[in-house]
């Protein structure tokens, strides 16, 4: 393993070991997915801390489909480095981490395509039962912050692009699900995501973005006050969101009860 990767592992170890319960609810670290959830409704996080995570059939099915589309196996650090430093494109994910806007953040992206040690594509998969065409703020910012953390870790992100792929996974055949990861990766690298979307006939939308440090930092700083205690949580202003929320029956801020 060369010096860069050995040093990266040591820095990660130090970063994690020095975490203290300094954020809201005594959290030592803020996950990228929690930050993304703030863009949906900060009160969901409050309810999660108060009542725990509420399992729903939709969530369970979503996780199952997610794992089917992006299967993975654990590898050693040496094998990981050997894989991602090859010149030909390879697929592998790693924990991303770093300090942004006063927060110590960690996260695990869904999928990264590498070439010669550089991340080329960071892909976030979102399964949906609805229209995959819109790109929601929480989904966009999740991908942006993963990209930022890769950058802050010292990886060469000069060619990094981001993609949020929204897919009606239930409507894909078994064969399509098996081939999904390779098909999407190949299409992104060939600049042919639009052709792939056409072949999927409205069941999939690839939202491509350029990695932009400034936008990603802004996405974190806009929400950091919730974690540092600088302000109280905000709640959804959309009755539709509250109706779809698993906490609507217990949430003191729910708009679903009053409509
Ligand atoms: S019920 Fe509404 S306000 Fe409460 S957590 Fe859910 S989305 Fe937020």
pLDDT digits (tens, 9 = 90+) for 177-190: 999 999 999 999 99
Look up the CATH number of the domain holding residue 177.
3.90.320
Question: Residue with the nearest Cα to atom 5 of ligand 1?
Answer: 44
Percent of the chain with pLDDT over 70: 99
Question: Residue with the nearest Cα to atom 7 of ligand 1?
Answer: 242
Number of domains the chain contains: 1
**Per-residue pLDDT tens digits for 54-98:** 888 888 888 899 999 998 899 999 999 999 999 999 999 999 999
Q: Which residues line ligand 1 (CB under 6 A)?
A: 41, 43-44, 47, 235-236, 241-242, 245, 247-248, 251, 253-254
Distance 27 CA to ligand 1 centre (A): 21
Distance 53 CA to ligand 1 centre (A): 14
pTM as predicted: 0.95
- In order, the DSSP letters of the chain are --HHHHHHHHHHHHHHHT--S-BGGGBSSEEHHHHHHHTT-HHHHHHHHHH-----HHHHHHHHHHHHHS------HHHHHHHHTSSS-EE----EEEEETTEEEEE--SEEEEETTEEEEEEEEEE-SS-S----HHHHHHHHHHHHHHHHTT---TT-EEEEEEE-GGGS-HHHHHHHHHHHHHHHHHT-HHHHHHHHTTSEEEEEEE--HHHHHHHHHHHHHHHHTSSPPP----HHHHHH-TTTTT-TT-SSTT-
Domain region containing 91 = 3-258
**Per-residue pLDDT tens digits for 204-221:** 999 999 999 999 999 999
Distance 259 CA to ligand 1 centre (A): 14
């Amino acid at each position: 393993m060369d010096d860069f990767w050995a040093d990266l592992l040591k820095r990660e170890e130090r970063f994690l070991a020095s975490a203290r319960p300094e954020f809201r609810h005594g959290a030592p670290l803020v996950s990228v997915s929690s930050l993304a959830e703030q863009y949906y409704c900060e009160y969901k996080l409050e309810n999660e801390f108060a009542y725990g995570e509420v399992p729903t059939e939709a969530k369970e099915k979503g996780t199952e489909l997610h794992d089917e589309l992006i299967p993975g196996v654990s590898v050693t650090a040496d094998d990981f480095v050997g894989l991602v430093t090859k010149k030909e494109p390879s697929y592998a994910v790693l924990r991303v981490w770093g300090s942004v806007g006063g927060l110590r953040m960690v996260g695990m992206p869904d999928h990264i395509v590498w070439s010669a040690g550089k991340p080329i594509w960071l892909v976030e998969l979102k399964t949906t039962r609805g229209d995959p065409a819109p790109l929601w703020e929480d989904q966009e910012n999740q991908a942006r912050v993963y990209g930022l953390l890769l950058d802050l870790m010292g990886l060469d992100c000069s060619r990094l692009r981001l993609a949020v792929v929204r897919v009606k996974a239930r409507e894909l055949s078994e064969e399509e699900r098996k081939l999904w990861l390779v098909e999407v990766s190949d299409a992104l690298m060939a600049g042919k995501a639009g052709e792939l979307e056409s072949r999927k006939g409205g069941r999939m939308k690839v939202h491509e973005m350029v990695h932009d440090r400034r936008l990603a930092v802004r996405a974190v700083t806009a929400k950091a006050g919730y974690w540092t205690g600088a302000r109280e949580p905000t709640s959804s202003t959309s009755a539709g969101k509250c109706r779809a929320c698993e906490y609507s029956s217990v949430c003191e801020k729910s708009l679903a009860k009053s409509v």
